[in-house]
Structure 1
Amino acid sequence: MEASKALTFFSIKDLKNEGSVYIDIGISAGFPSPADDFKETRISLDEELIKNKEATFFARVSGQSMIGAGLDDNDLLVIDRSIEPTNNKIAVCFLDGEFTVKRLRVEGVNVWLQPENPDYPVIKITKENNFVIWGVVTSVIKKV
C-alpha cells in the first residue's frame, strides 16, 4: 500500500474463491417484482472489474474535486495502467510530486486536468510540470 495526500493505492491480492452468489435478474428500483423464477449463479468481482491483473491497482479517493463524475471521498477506484489515456477519460496522474484523479482534456499537444466540481480549478499541464498519466480509471466501488 502506498499513500499520497489525494489517493491511497492498493495492489491486487490473489483471491482464489469461487465468487459470490449472483441473482441473474434485474433488480427493480421502482415497484418490487416477483423473484420466484430467479436464476442463482456465481459471479467473481475480479473477473467483472479487472481485465489486466498485472496492470490493475486500486486507490481510495480523498477529496471532492470529482464529485460531478460520481467519485466521492473514500470511494475505491479500479485503475488500469495498460489502457491508453485519451481525451475525456478519467485518469490518475502524478503531477509535481502528488497523485491526483481528474478528467483528461487533450487538444493536440495541450493537456488539461479537468475537475468535476466547479469549486476546483482546471489545471493546464506545461513543460515545467513533472507530469505522468499513471493509469485510467475503469470502475468505482462505493459503499452505501
Structure 2
Amino acid sequence: MSLIPVDPLRSDGIDAVLVPILGQALCAGFPSPADDFLEGALELPRWLVPNPPATFLWQISGDSMRGAGIHDRDLACVDRSLTAGHDDVVVAAIDGQMSCKRYLLDGKAARLAFDNPDLPAFFLGEHGEAEIWGVVRFSIRWHVARGGLRR
C-alpha cells in the first residue's frame, strides 16, 4: 500500500484561519451568533474551513449525539453556508433554542433525531418552530483531561 503525499501546512499563518468560538454551550439555548457571545477563536488549517465567514465553533453540552461520535464538551465546527442533506448532523433552532441533531428525510418529511437510542426522533415543527441553522462539518475532542477553553 502506498501512502498519498500530504503537503505540509505553512507556518506563516497564511494557510490558517481564526474560527470564532461561541461562548454558550450548544444545547443550552442561544439567540444568535452575535459578537457579544464570542468566547475566543481557534486557529485551524484553511482546508478544514472552506468558508470562514460562515463558520463557528460551538461547545457541545450533553450526550444526545454520542452515536455520531460527538460527546459532552466536544467542539462542533458549524458551517452556515452548507445546505443540510439526509443524515447530516446539523444545528437547529427549535423555538429559539439551539440544538445539535441528526437531519433525516422520510419522503418529503424532515425529522430531527438524537444520535442516542434512548431519545426519540421528531418531525420538524412538531415541537414548535424549527429551522436548520447550519451543518456540522466536524467535531474536535480532547482525549486527555483539560481545563476550560482559553482565549
Is TM (by shorter chain) over 0.5? yes
State whether residues 68 and 115 of structure 2, in contact with CA within 8 Å, keep that contact through their aligned partners in structure 1: yes
State the partner residue of 1:6.
Answer: 27
State whether residues 4 and 98 of structure 1, in contact with CA within 8 Å, keep that contact through their aligned partners in structure 2: no
- Residue segments in structure 2 that go unaligned for 5+ positions in a row: 1-21, 144-151
Compute the displacement of 1:126 (Å).
Answer: 3.0
1:120-131 mapped onto 2 (5 Å cutoff): 120-126=119-125, 129-131=128-130
Deviation track 1:58-111 (CA, whole Å, cap 9, x = no partner) reads 111001111011000000010000011111110000011211111101134311
State the partner residue of 2:95.
Answer: 96
1:71-86 mapped onto 2 (5 Å cutoff): 71-86=70-85
State whether residues 91 and 104 of structure 1, in contact with CA within 8 Å, keep that contact through their aligned partners in structure 2: yes
- Residue segments in structure 1 that go unaligned for 5+ positions in a row: 16-44
Distance 1:104 1:123 in 2: 10
Instruction: Please tell me the residue identity of whatever aligns with 1:138.
Output: R
Between the two proteins, the alignment pairs up a number of residues equal to: 115
Compute the displacement of 1:2 (Å).
Answer: 4.7
- TM-score normalized by structure 1? 0.69
Distance 2:138 2:99 in 1: 16
The verdict on how the C-alpha distance between 1:87 and 1:11 changes in structure 2, with shifts beyond 3 A counting, is farther
Compute the displacement of 1:46 (Å).
Answer: 2.9
Cα RMSD (Å): 2.5
Structure 1's consecutive aligned runs of 4 or more residues displaced over 2 angstroms after TM superposition are 1-5, 7-15, 126-129
Q: Work out which of the two has the higher radius of gyration on C-alpha atoms and give 1 or 2.
A: 1
State the partner residue of 1:60.
Answer: 59
State whether residues 79 and 136 of structure 1, in contact with CA within 8 Å, keep that contact through their aligned partners in structure 2: yes
State whether residues 74 and 142 of structure 2, in contact with CA within 8 Å, keep that contact through their aligned partners in structure 1: yes
State the partner residue of 2:146.
Answer: none
